A and B are shown apart, each in its own frame.
Chain A
Amino acid sequence: MSTAVRQDPPGAALDASAHAAVTIDRPADDLRTLWLDPRTQARIWAHFADVTARDDGTADWIARGPAGGQYRWRTKIMATSPDDIRWASLDGADVPNTGALALRPAPGDRGTELHLDVRFDPPGGIIGKAASKLFHIVPGEIVRKALYQFRALALTGEIPTTDPQPAARQGGADR
């Protein structure tokens, strides 16, 4: 499908949006259920934000910026179908954003493809400041790592970590 190869326009729009995909050898239904589990949301975005998700489809996000900055917003799941989950931030978000996860059958016996799209729409106050500078990691990395962690969780039931003992140095000074 041609939509798999997206061509973002150059410039600000590019770093305000991010797309990533992974294939997971599990049925789409199972993956959809796992994604919608509030505990999953808290775990797969942990590299980017503290997420408190609820069964009603809302979630509170506290994203970390460079130099200790924080951005807060609440999202709500706006639409779900067997092959699609869409969410958007509600009024009052520090950094308005939307997200979508598409689930498609992978060819052969490879399971399910997950395509994740996230768009940040910095409001007036921060306009002109590239979205990639807002957070402590760039949008591309936010979505790629979220999917990596989701795949790990779906396949193994855990997310790989060395925290708080990266390479065993005392106190875990990994920053």
Chain B
Amino acid sequence: MRALCWNGVNDLRVETVADPEILNPQDVILKVRLTTTCGSDLHLIDGLIPTMREGDVLGHEFMGEIVDVGRDVTKVKRGDRVVVPSFIACGKCWYCAHDLYSLCDTSHPKPELQEPLLGYPTAGIYAYSHAFGGYAGSHAEYVRVPFADTDCFVVPDGLPDEDALFISDAAPTGFMGADFCNIQRGDVIAVWGCGGVGLMAQQSAMILGAERVIAINQYPERLAQAEAFGATPLDFTKVDVVEALRELTGGRGPDACIDAVGMEADGTGTQHAYDRIKQALYIETDRGAALRQAMLAVRKGGTLSILGVYGVLDKFPLGLLMNKGVTVRTAQQHGQAYVPRLLDHALRGELTPAALATHRFSLEDSPAGYRMFKHKEDGCLRAVFAP
């Protein structure tokens, strides 16, 4: 089959690779209908996540049709149109039982690569380096999906592929980030980042009853999309964000701040220059401008919900969190806990993930799609590939 392979920093090529096979009895094989780019892929493509290997098939946000099933699969069947969360979860371990699916205790084929870094291995994930399991990704004609009964969710008739697609990753991540904020009546939620994750976090915060959602970004077209979703846009290159947030909240500060930016934050000023140099020299993996700003802006006793992916940030003002009594919530997305509810919200039109699908490409043109996504050309929010 054809697949988009990582071959080194900024080196993506469409190649012919072996078709996936059923390896375990609870696997299915999916014929990919749609698969998309995620901000997390940019960290891989830019070489900030170690243990990628040449030839790895990229892609972890996808939906498709089941074309082959393992002998122990009972709930889903051949022909089902399904969406699959990016983290692989067994549905049987303690973590899965507690809705902490991205921490699944049994889905990582190479825990020894990750244990030294984290103490305990996480769940495996598609196409996110060998330290995260070495599973092949979805930017391909076919993809193998383990634990299909837990990880494949049938898309209801009437919900288009473009909506279902983002319920794989961007939507559940954003929804989880809003869920972490434990939103109460009158709460103001500030969201850094207007990529797929940030925008979905903004819509989710509204679904969960936020009084007001404030969206922080620098690209006019992304801020316009946030505004279309009902958020108040703030351009961090034009205003002092912390000051503006104070003003917008009557001096209280946002009740919760969501970081949907991550390790490649853009910024202004000397701290940003320092971060950039260290990252360029690989002295540290992260540029944390958005996160630092969120820590300063959040109200006393508020919540900091971190969705952006980080490596090992070495300068982290812990004192801000401690002295302000901030609650920090963070995780890789526990998608399986949210997908059924998100499919319902999407069917009812409360959640509109298809708005992220600004650009569509064939699989053969996917390297061009990534270039466009990475450089945010032509207002590209997400490049969607139809293999």
A171 CA / B17 CA spacing, docked (Å): 9
Nearest-neighbour CB distance to chain A for B64, whole angstroms, equals: 15
Residues on B with beta carbons closer than 8 Å to the beta carbon of A174 = 134
Encode contact with A along B64-102: 1 for CB under 8 Å, 0 otherwise.
000000001000000000000000101011100100000
Closest to B23 in A: A161
A156–B53 touching, CB < 8 Å: no
Residues on B with beta carbons closer than 8 Å to the beta carbon of A158 = 24-26, 72
Encode contact with B along A158-172: 1 for CB under 8 Å, 0 otherwise.
111111011111111
Stretch touching chain A among B106-114, B203-211, B234-242, B289-297: B106-114
Nearest-neighbour CB distance to chain B for A31, whole angstroms, equals: 14
Residues on A with beta carbons closer than 8 Å to the beta carbon of B227 = none
Encode contact with A along B14-44: 1 for CB under 8 Å, 0 otherwise.
0011101101111000000000000000000
B25–A167 touching, CB < 8 Å: no
Closest to B123 in A: A160
B46 part of interface (Cβ distance < 8 Å): no
Nearest-neighbour CB distance to chain A for B117, whole angstroms, equals: 14
**When the two chains form the complex, which single residue of B18, B93, B105 contacts A168, counting CB atoms closer than 8 Å?**
B18
B18–A167 touching, CB < 8 Å: no
A54 part of interface (Cβ distance < 8 Å): no
Encode contact with A along B131-159: 1 for CB under 8 Å, 0 otherwise.
00111110010001011000000000000
Given contacts A25-B93, A167-B135, A168-B140, contact A160 B106 (CB under 8 A): yes
A79 part of interface (Cβ distance < 8 Å): no
CB under 8 Å from chain B, chain A span 141-175: 141, 144-145, 148, 151-152, 155-163, 165-174
Nearest-neighbour CB distance to chain B for A139, whole angstroms, equals: 12
B344 part of interface (Cβ distance < 8 Å): no
B299 part of interface (Cβ distance < 8 Å): no
Residues on B with beta carbons closer than 8 Å to the beta carbon of A36 = none
A-B contact count (CB 8 A): 108
Residues on A with beta carbons closer than 8 Å to the beta carbon of B127 = 167
A66 CA / B140 CA spacing, docked (Å): 35
A147 CA / B108 CA spacing, docked (Å): 13
**When the two chains form the complex, which single residue of A151, A157, A169, A170 contacts B105, counting CB atoms closer than 8 Å?**
A151
B130 part of interface (Cβ distance < 8 Å): yes
B56 part of interface (Cβ distance < 8 Å): yes
CB under 8 Å from chain B, chain A span 1-40: 23, 25
B17–A169 touching, CB < 8 Å: yes
Given contacts A137-B112, A158-B25, A168-B140, contact A152 B106 (CB under 8 A): yes
A173 CA / B130 CA spacing, docked (Å): 13
Main secondary structure of the interface of B (DSSP, over half): loop
B321 part of interface (Cβ distance < 8 Å): no
B112–A168 touching, CB < 8 Å: no
Nearest-neighbour CB distance to chain A for B115, whole angstroms, equals: 7
A133 part of interface (Cβ distance < 8 Å): no
**When the two chains form the complex, which single residue of B18, B121, B144 contacts A170, counting CB atoms closer than 8 Å?**
B18
**When the two chains form the complex, which single residue of B57, B72, B94 contacts A167, counting CB atoms closer than 8 Å?**
B57
B55 part of interface (Cβ distance < 8 Å): yes
Given contacts A144-B112, A167-B127, A168-B3, contact A156 B56 (CB under 8 A): no
A110 part of interface (Cβ distance < 8 Å): yes
Closest to B57 in A: A168
A174 CA / B130 CA spacing, docked (Å): 10
Given contacts A137-B112, A165-B136, contact A155 B21 (CB under 8 A): no
Nearest-neighbour CB distance to chain A for B99, whole angstroms, equals: 15
Encode contact with B along A103-136: 1 for CB under 8 Å, 0 otherwise.
0000000100000000000000000000000000
B92–A156 touching, CB < 8 Å: yes
B17–A170 touching, CB < 8 Å: yes
Residues on A with beta carbons closer than 8 Å to the beta carbon of B106 = 148, 151-152, 155-156, 160
A145 CA / B108 CA spacing, docked (Å): 10
A158 CA / B91 CA spacing, docked (Å): 13
A165 CA / B130 CA spacing, docked (Å): 12
Given contacts A144-B111, A160-B107, contact A166 B134 (CB under 8 A): yes
Nearest-neighbour CB distance to chain B for A1, whole angstroms, equals: 21
Given contacts A151-B105, A165-B21, 19 further A-B contacts (CB under 8 A): A144-B111, A148-B108, A152-B105, A155-B105, A157-B25, A160-B24, A161-B23, A162-B109, A162-B136, A166-B53, A166-B134, A167-B134, A168-B18, A168-B55, A168-B57, A168-B136, A169-B17, A170-B18, A173-B55
18 pairs, A vs B, C-beta closer than 8 Å: A23-B94, A144-B112, A148-B121, A156-B26, A157-B72, A158-B24, A158-B26, A160-B24, A160-B106, A160-B133, A162-B109, A165-B20, A168-B140, A169-B17, A169-B53, A170-B18, A172-B18, A173-B55
The 4 nearest A-B residue pairs measured at CB: A168-B136, A169-B55, A167-B56, A152-B106
Residues of A bordering B, CB below 8 Å: 23, 25, 110, 137, 141, 144-145, 148, 151-152, 155-163, 165-174
